[in-house]
Structure 1
Amino acid sequence: MKATILLILTVSAIISTEPQFDVESNSVLVDSTRCGPRFGRCARGLCCGLNNECGSSVAHCNVSLGCKSKWGICF
């Protein structure tokens, strides 16, 4: 019984941590708040700001403030 529960938890952990792939941009989407060359793209609809953090604020999304269009959307 313990082995079965352990197996289920292990499989669940593997499935939940598998990265998502965005076909349109041909890149992996990150599940965290980080973005950039080491972390990948932000989740759909989020911007990658100057400090490689995903978000939706003006500080994250404004090109003149350092938004990185390769890793997220920018305005």
Structure 2
Amino acid sequence: MKAAITAIVLVLALSAISSTEARPDRDGLWNVVFRQSRNDQCGPAHGECQPGLCCSLYNECGNSVAHCNVSLGCKNKWGECH
């Protein structure tokens, strides 16, 4: 049981690391910046949607109600939600 939980935590940590990049800001402090998606997908494996787009429950960028409605699964970490 412990091994399964450890494996899940490891997978989640690796997916979070792969979707971010750390870079220093003007003050020399390191900030974690989410990379921006280069296609119509979003989420941990793909990055954030382009500005003005929402990330749907199914990790797709768009601006429809299905993409942007929080109660339908919009992911505000990866795009805008309404």
TM-score grouping bracket, smaller chain normalisation: 0.5 to 0.7
For the aligned residue pairs, the C-alpha RMSD in angstroms reads: 1.7
* SS of 1:64 mapped into structure 2: helix
- Structure 2: runs of 5 or more not aligned: 1-31
TM-score by length of 2: 0.60
TM-score by length of 1: 0.65
The residue that corresponds to 2:52 in the other structure is: 45
Q: Give the Cα–Cα distance (whole angstroms) in 2 for the partners of residues 38 and 61 of structure 1.
A: 19
Q: Give the Cα–Cα distance (whole angstroms) in 2 for the partners of residues 39 and 29 of structure 1.
A: 8
**For each residue in 1:34-74, what CA deviation from the matched residue of structure 2 results, as whole angstroms up to 9, or x when unmatched?**
00000000001100001000000000000000000000000
Question: Which of 40, 48, 57 is the matching residue for 2:64?
Answer: 57
- Structure 1: runs of 5 or more not aligned: 1-24
Higher Cα Rg: structure 1 or 2? 1
Q: Aligned pairs, how many? A: 52
Q: CA deviation at 1:26?
A: 2.5
